[in-house]
């Protein structure tokens, strides 16, 4: 989920999508730091044949 300027965005992916999140060494929670705008937050891995 993304919060910016009063807007919230949620991206939903199907269970078949393999996503590698870059959490910057953090564990999601209330004591984490924001990730700057335009920085990579995840990579969708290519489909396996």
Express each pLDDT in 28-38 by its tens digit.
Answer: 888 888 888 88
Q: What is the DSSP letter of 43?
A: E
What is the per-residue pLDDT for 26? 92
Is 29 a domain residue?
A: yes
Is 9 a domain residue?
A: no
Is 3 a domain residue?
A: no
d(CA 25, CA 28): 10
Q: How many CB atoms lie within 10 A of CB 35?
A: 14
Is 6 a domain residue?
A: no
Is 38 a domain residue?
A: yes
Domain coverage including residue 32 = 14-49
pLDDT tens for the chain, residues 1 to 49: 666 666 677 788 899 999 999 989 998 888 888 888 888 889 999 888 7
CA proximity to 13, closest of 3, 23, 21, 4? 21
- How many domains does the chain contain in total? 1
Question: Does residue 44 contact residue 19 with C-beta atoms inside 8 Å?
Answer: yes
d(CA 18, CA 37): 23
């Amino acid at each position: 989920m993304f919060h910016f300027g009063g807007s919230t965005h949620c991206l939903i992916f199907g269970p078949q999508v393999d996503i590698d999140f870059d959490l910057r060494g953090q564990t999601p929670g209330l004591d984490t730091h924001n990730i700057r705008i335009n920085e990579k937050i995840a990579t969708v891995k290519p489909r396996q044949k």
